[in-house]
Amino acid sequence: MDGVAPYVTADGRQIGGVLMDMRGITLRFGGVEAIKNISFDIREGEIRAIIGPNGAGKSSMLNVISGFYHPQDGEVWFRGEKRPPMKPYQVARLGIARTFQNIALFEGMSVLDNIMTGRLTHMKTGLLAQAIWKGKAEAEEVANREVVEKIIDFLEIQAIRKTPVGRLPYGLKKRVELARALAAEPKLLLLDEPMAGMNVEEKEDMSRFILDVNDEFGTTIALIEHDMGVVMDLSDRVVVMDYGRKIGDGTPDEVRNNQEVIDAYLGVAHE
């Protein structure tokens, strides 16, 4: 796709062609330019990090990818095709799932039921059809349950499957949110600060799960993260944003040695 040569990473993973191509994206809120003419791509199979200070426009960029925000300028290309303006549910059907900076789960519902909501984009049988063709709906339910059970095993949350999400500690809620996103079996997974507010042990767990998802399901991942150690460990390539502009783009080593990035972001302490 796009004539970009696939390559193999230092740890032996295959990176393919361009999956998502953001071209000249500009996004404004009234007078505020949250994203200023940014272009970058996400390649098949890679873990792509987006970093930058608060207010840089990172979440806005994920919101453009997932169809929550619509840019005033620029083009979004997915799998070699220009994507028309889409609603979030339509983007989800393309195989793009996400988690949110602030956890968005149903606190009163069980872990299992929350994860099942991640299957909604795959449910072909509507409510009326379910009432009429009960058998078909039941078959679909069984298939959905199988996918969900596989993810519950994978993320090691069997013990809390019946627990209402509201009762869980923060780190586990984040894991359930990841599970819900994975239930959609996405091609591209967007994670907005998946480790924010976690302690060291929780961060290590989450890092391992993100690597395992990439490795075992082949899921392409774009994530926003502040912990530079995590970014350096996890990501194949990093985009650096500052005040809506892109100030760096490359391998972790490249951006770490980029003077503009050091001045704007890496030189100062972060949480």
Ligand X SMILES: Nc1ncnc2c1ncn2[C@@H]1O[C@H](COP(=O)(O)OP(=O)(O)O)[C@@H](O)[C@H]1O
- Binding residues for Mg ion, rule: CB under 5 A, are 59, 101
Least distance between Mg ion and beta carbon 68 (Å)? 12
3-state secondary structure of 53: coil
Residue from 54, 85, 162, 216 touching ligand X (CB under 6 A): that is: 54
Q: Which of 52, 76, 79, 49 is nearest to 64 (CA)?
A: 76
Which one of 14-22, 53-61, 86-94, 229-237 is the stretch in contact with ligand X (CB under 6 A)?
Answer: 53-61
Residue 194 tokens read as: 């998946």
Residue 40 CA to residue 18 CA, distance in Å, equals 10
By the 8 A CB rule, do 43 and 23 touch?
A: no
Tell me the helices (H) and strands (E) count for the chain, helix number first: 10, 12
Q: Which is nearer to ligand X, 3 or 54 (CB)?
A: 54
Contact status: 246 vs ligand X (CB under 6 A): no
Nearer to Mg ion, 59 or 121 (CB): 59
Residue closer to ligand X, measured from CB, 52 or 194: 52
- Find, among 139, 146, 145, the residue nearest to 125 by Cα: 139
The Cα–Cα gap between 60 and 154 comes to 30
- The answer to whether residue 159 forms part of the interface with ligand X (CB under 6 A) is no
Q: Which is nearer to ligand X, 34 or 111 (CB)?
A: 34
97 binds ligand X (CB under 6 A): no
Q: Would you give the DSSP letter of residue 263?
A: I
Please give the torsion angle defined by the CA atoms of residues 120, 126, 131 and 134, in that order, rounded to the nearest 10 degrees: -70
Stretch that binds ligand X, among 48-56, 84-92, 117-125, 165-173 (CB under 6 A): 48-56
Comparing CB distances to ligand X, the nearer of 32 and 131 is 32
Least distance to ligand X, CB of residue 100, Å:
11
Q: Under the criterion CB under 6 A, does residue 88 sit at the interface with ligand X?
A: no
Instruction: Decide: is 60 part of the binding site for ligand X (CB under 6 A).
Output: yes
Examine residue 58 and tell whether it contacts ligand X (CB under 6 A).
Answer: yes
CA–CA dist 22, 74 (Å, integer): 8
Q: Which is nearer to ligand X, 29 or 271 (CB)?
A: 29
Verify binding: residue 139, ligand X, rule CB under 6 A: no
Residue 194 touches ligand X, criterion: CB under 6 A? no
How many residues are listed for the chain in this entry? 271
**Cα distance from N-terminal residue to C-terminal residue, the chain:** 37
Binding site partner of 125, from ligand X, Mg ion, none, Cβ cut-off 5-8 A by kind: none
C-alpha pair distances (Å), 237 with each of 83, 113, 133, 253: 24, 35, 48, 9
Q: Which residues bind ligand X (CB under 6 A)?
A: 29, 32, 34, 52, 54-60
